[in-house]
Structures are given as C-alpha cells and as structure tokens.
Amino acid sequence: MRVIIVEDSRVVRELLTAIVDRDPRLQVAGAFTSAEEALEALPALQPDIISMDIRLPGMSGLDATRRIMAERPVPIVVIADSAADPAGLSMNALRAGALSVVEKPVGLNAGTYEEIAGEICTQLAIMSEVRVIRQRAWRQDPPRVAKARPAEGTNFFTAPSAVGIAASTGGPPALARVLGALPADFPAPIFLVQHMGASFMEGFATWLDGLVSLKVAIAKDGVTAQGGTVYVAPGHAHLTVEPGLVIKLDDGPPIDGQKPSATALFRSLAQSVGPRGLGVLLTGMGEDGARGLVDLHRMRGFTIAEDETTSVVYGMPGAAARLGGVSASLPLDAIAGRILATTRTAE
C-alpha cells in the first residue's frame, strides 16, 4: 500500500517514514512538510492512504482533508498529538472524511513507541482498503429532527429506559448526526462506545458535547445515569450498565479484540433492562457489538443497525444483521427518528 506522509516536523516525519518502511504491507510514496506540497503531488503519486498531520504551516491538515475528500477522495488517517488538540481539530477532520486518528510518535526511547508504531501501521494498512466517496460540503452543525412519528407498522409496549450506541470507523461524524437530532430533554440516558485511542477520548467527548443539545461526558464508575446525558466509555475500560442504571467500568480483557467493547455494553443492557433497552450499532470495521446486539434482541430489546447504504464500513452492523440481532436496518439519517419513536409508549 502506497503511503503519503504529511508532517511538518522533521523528527516526526523521519519517525513515521521509518515506522512505515519497516512494515512489509506498506511503502512510503512521498513525505511532505506542507499540505500544499502533498496536494500538488497527489495526481502523480496515486497513494492508497495518507498519513495527515493536523497542525501544518499554511493550509491546515483539516482544510487539506476537506479538500481531498471533496475533490480527489483518498483514505486519510490523522496522526495527532492528543495533548495539543484542545480545539478538537482531529475530531473535525474525522467529520470531514478522515477515517481514524492515531497518537503521534514522540521518540524511539518513549515507553509507548512500539505500541504506537504498531497501531499506526495497523490503521494505515486497514484503512487503505476502505472505499471512500466524495464528501459534500462540510457543515458546522449536524441536522436536527424537530419531531418524529412512529414508523408505520411499529408497536412498542414499553419505552426504552436506556439507549446504547456503538461505532468504530466513520463513527464520530455518524454519532454527531444521530445525537445531534435528539433533543436536550431526551428522556433516557445514552451510553456510547466509540473505538478510538484512549488518549483522544476526553477530547472526543468535549468535541461532541459542543455539537449536540444533549450533555456529553466521560462515564464515571458508580454514577447513576440520568436522561438527557450521553455517557462515553473511557478508553481504558468496558462501559457496562447495572440494574438501576448504575454505571460500571470493567477493567477486564478485550472482547472481540476491543476495549471498550460494544458487545460488553449491549450485553449489560440485555441483563439490566432487558426489553426496555435500545441498542444502535453504527458504521465500523470488524464484528464488535454484533453478538451483544443479538443478546439484547433476544431479551426483546429494540435493536437498530446502520444500513449498508450509508455505512463507511459495514462490518459491525453487517455482522449483527447476519446473526439475526437487528430489529431494523436504517440509513443514518433515519435512525434518530426511530429512536425518538420508541420513546413514545404505545397506547
């Protein structure tokens, strides 16, 4: 896979080049100090994937991502320093079409160097195979749904007391659209799992909180969940829900290769609220969440999977559909309306 590296720091650029060159799946096609240079070279180099820094001299990595996704779509992985991104630029790059964000390497002697290097190569190799499409003009605000009517043919005997939502590749912009269409007084608490590096989770929650009407915060162990709030799984533990809507952070091993795991969340909802649980599985690579959604579906909870027509990657929702754990497969912009419809108790 041909990789273009865009990074203005010479030290980091050389580190990234060395990291990519040692992986037999990858080949450095070019390394550039500015977005302008990279954009000019794109037609000739025809890369399979771009490693993009966000803070660049001249055109920012965010603006470059928007332009690439609007004019000549190429899979993009953002390489960022989570501590130096208080404005959530990397999250906005994901919303503009980048596929994932990975921690920037800081030096060969850093204790986390090998772990970060392995994650960078894994993300570049995997994301290079994702088919990206031209993005429409980037919007500052997600669309909102003023009212929602129950879908024809649906009949809910109990309104959900808890909602679980999970996503991976392509998740942040999808979550912004779904949650942005829900009102601030949404009656049930929402529990959220997004696969992302642990160091980015605080910034992700802050970014999402600034976009939607609901309150968004990192989940804390032992807290009783309240309606109108989105509780985001931290990057170091599984987010589970106990009876009484008490949050439990579980430091157990990864499930389906993920920690936090969507399957752990959905299974806990199946056990704690059963038919009053609602699960939503959005775009993402792999199969995390699928088996948990099946468990919730078997307990007569209502389960939604994003349809293939709008998923950036149909892996997670597709696996749930194949296993028979989905009550409804819906395109992204129809999901919030269905969630709202389920909060209306049937007469």
- Among candidate residues 90, 195, 238, 261, the one labeled active-site is 195
Q: What is the DSSP letter of 23?
A: S
* Nearest Cα residue to 223 out of 208, 234, 210: 234
Complete DSSP assignment for 153-191: T---SS--SEEEEEE-TTHHHHHHHHHHTS-TT-SS-EE
**Which member of 53, 85, 256, 288 is catalytic?**
288
Cβ atoms of 90 and 207 within 8 Å: the answer is no
Question: Which one of the listed residues 128, 168, 261, 268 is annotated catalytic?
Answer: 168
Alpha-carbon distance values, 4 to 42, 51, 262 (Å) = 9, 6, 32
Active site residue 236: no
At a CB cut-off of 8 Å and minimum separation 6, what does 283 contact?
A: 167, 168, 169, 170, 171, 174, 306, 310, 311, 312, 313, 314, 316, 317
- Residue 70 three-state SS: helix
Residue positions annotated with a catalytic role: 168, 195, 288
